Structure formats: C-alpha cells, structure tokens
C-alpha cells in the first residue's frame, strides 16, 4: 500500500481528528452587518469548505463593539450572534471538515476603514459616504498605530478585567455555536499583540515593562480559553512570531511565549508575523514563498508545541516538504484559497492519493473524474 502524503494523513488533536493537515486561514472579509453573518459569509465559507481542507476557520470575530476593526467585522459579542455562527459551523461540518473560529479585539487598529475604502482611521468622509463614524479605541498604551491615527485610550486594570470577561463570554458563545476549535488572536498589531510588543506597550504596571509582564494578559486570556473550551477539544493561538527585523518582539520572545502557552494547555501555535508600523529597514520582506516557515520550525522544535506554517505556501510539493522535514504540523493557506478554493482537492490528485476523487463533493467529483477520463484533463 502506498504511503499517504503527510498533507493527507489524518491528525489527532486531543479527541478531534482532522482528515488532513490543510487549514483555511481566518480571513477577514469585512462584510458583516452590525456584527451579524450574512449570505456573503455562507457563500464564502461554503466555497472554502467544499474545497477539501481538513480545518476551516471562520474569520476573526470581535469580542465587543469597541473591539471591531471596521464596521463590517463579524461579531461574537452578543448571544443573538450565535445562530449565524452556528449556521457557518454546520455548513463546514457538511463537507466533513472541522470548524474553527478566531476571536479577537482590534485594540489600537480599530475604528478603521475597510481596506478597499482606504484602510485608514474613520473620519468625516466615511460618515458622509456610508454613515460609518469612528468610535473610541483602546489598547495597552496610548501610542497611536501610525502617523495620522488617533491615540488609543490606555486600558486601566479594571477595564482589562472587563475585556477578559468579554473574551470569556465570546469563547462560550463559540462553543454554543458548535465550533470544534477556537483560536485566540495575538498577532498583527491587534489588542493582545499590543500588550506583547514593546513597540506598542509602554505601561509601567503589572501588564508592562518586562516580557513576563507583557505576556501576562495574553496568557491570562489563553488560560481562560482553555478553561472554557471542552477538555476533549483543542485550542490554538495565533502569534506574530516577530515584529520585524531586529526590532520589537523577537523569535526568542515567541519561543518563550509559546512555552508558556503550552503550559496553560494551548495545543497549537499559528505562526504569522508583523502587524506593527516599522521603519522601512526593519520591515520583514514577505515576497518569498514560506517566509514565515522558519518561525514555525523554531517554535515547534524549541517550545515543544505543534505549529501552523502560513505565508505564501502555494505548491503542493513544498507544503509536503515542510511537514516531512518537521518544520510544522499543519499548513495554512489564505489568499491562495481565494484564488483557487479547490487547492486541497487538486493537491490530493497531484500527489496521487485520491484516485476516487473523494476529496471533492460527490456532486463535483463524479463528473470531474469522468471529464478527466474523456478529455485527459
């Protein structure tokens, strides 16, 4: 019997089995209405789930109205939003995939325009054009995200406790919606990352200063996530493995953070990078395929926790090689799946492990298998 490629070897995480190692990354589409899922989300998630990935993430969902990035962000701050999430989780399950959700607070990057509307802070022009005004943002410190952005309100200790409760209730709602996996977003300059990075955190209390103090809130929320999530199901954390080149949060910091995450019961670290405004010479070059894979490799090896590799991974053989070389345990794709949502199913064919076209919905596979037999492609 031919050995299965690792990409298509099932993976056991606690009591949950993924049918393969391919993950649909959480990709914000900024298309919710007042935080509620719409028909867009059903079409978008259904298309991605039908493509054959083992794990499908629903985009980052905000723990509070203040914690939105844009007016179009999906929310999980109200019990009324559970029904929409439950529909998305059920849709993913229909395609024999596991359903995951990323939960976040925008921090100092909130109250912003959608990317295609400029991506900057909201202002009068947005009120005039769409009736979408700004709101007060809050973060670890009062350092603006960039020139021209408003200074966020620095959260007090009591306000931090409220945010922690917001996350707790969001985790409970996610499980009520029947998601299998929940991921805490600690990357890309949002609230949790703004506590971790010395570039955004200049506090002088128990949540600032030393690395131990800067990790305190993210670790506190991660421990609550593990407490609220069923013991038999896994939890993930997404991190920015580095802020940039020789600046801010480093890979050594990420290894230390991942070690602590493992100690509180986190099962997988999802290894991204960046999210801070940096001088040009310190920005991480992101044009090379797999540019973040070395981060996943070091964290997995040195912190002893499974990792997700993500970032310009496009070729089947390259993705398989990452797994074979022990550089990561899972492979996540984002924009590549927007370009080609059938990448997982096509990859199974390319690697010779799906002679029966079983990675495709049977409504497609039955016809496509015959199409190939008739036409040779």
Task: Supply the residues annotated as catalytic.
Answer: 190
Backbone angles phi, psi at 139, to 5 degrees: -155, -170
Alpha helices by DSSP H, 145-272 = 157-176, 191-196, 211-214, 216-228, 251-263
Neighbours of 40 (CB within 10 A): 13
Distance from C-alpha of 335 to C-alpha of 303, rounded to nearest angstrom:
28
Neighbours of 286 (CB within 10 A): 11
C-beta of residue 221 within 8 angstroms of C-beta of residue 260 = no
Beta bridge partners of 120: none
C-beta of residue 141 within 8 angstroms of C-beta of residue 151 = no
3-state class (DSSP) for residue 307: strand
Rg over CA atoms, the chain: 20
Distance from C-alpha of 335 to C-alpha of 60, rounded to nearest angstrom:
15
């Amino acid at each position: 019997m031919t050995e299965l490629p690792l990409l298509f070897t099932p993976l056991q995480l606690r009591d949950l089995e993924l049918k393969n190692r391919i993950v649909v990354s959480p990709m914000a589409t900024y298309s919710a209405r007042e935080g509620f899922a719409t028909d867009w989300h059903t079409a978008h998630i259904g298309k991605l789930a039908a493509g054959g990935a083992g794990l499908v993430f629903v985009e980052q969902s905000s723990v509070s109205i203040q914690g939105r990035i844009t007016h179009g962000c999906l929310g999980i701050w109200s019990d009324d939003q559970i029904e929409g999430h439950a529909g998305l989780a059920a849709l993913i399950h229909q395609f024999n995939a596991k359903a995951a959700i990323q939960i976040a607070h925008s921090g100092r990057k909130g109250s912003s325009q959608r990317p295609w509307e400029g991506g900057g802070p909201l202002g009068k022009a947005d009120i005039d054009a769409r009736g979408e005004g700004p709101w007060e943002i809050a973060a670890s410190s009062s350092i603006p995200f960039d020139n021209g952005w408003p200074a966020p309100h620095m959260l007090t200790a009591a306000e931090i406790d409220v945010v922690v409760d917001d996350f707790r209730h969001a985790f409970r709602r996610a499980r009520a919606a029947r998601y299998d996996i929940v991921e805490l977003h600690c990357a890309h300059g949002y609230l949790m990352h703004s506590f971790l990075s010395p570039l955004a955190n200049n506090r002088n209390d128990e949540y600032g200063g030393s690395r131990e103090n800067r990790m305190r809130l993210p670790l506190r929320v991660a421990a609550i996530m593990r407490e609220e999530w069923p013991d038999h199901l896994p939890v993930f954390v997404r991190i920015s493995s580095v802020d940039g080149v020789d600046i801010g949060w480093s890979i050594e910091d990420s290894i230390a953070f991942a070690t602590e995450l493992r100690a509180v019961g986190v099962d997988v670290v999802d290894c991204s990078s960046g999210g801070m405004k940096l001088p040009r010479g310190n920005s991480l070059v992101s044009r090379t395929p797999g540019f973040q894979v070395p981060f996943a490799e070091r964290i997995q090896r040195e912190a002893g926790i499974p990792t997700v590799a993500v970032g310009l991974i496009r070729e089947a053989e390259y993705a398989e090689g990452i797994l074979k070389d022990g550089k990561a345990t899972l492979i996540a794709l984002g924009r590549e799946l927007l370009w080609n949502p059938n990448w997982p199913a096509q990859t199974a064919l390319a690697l010779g492990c799906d002679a029966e076209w079983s990675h495709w919905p049977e409504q497609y596979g039955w016809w496509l298998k015959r199409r190939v037999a008739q036409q040779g492609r």
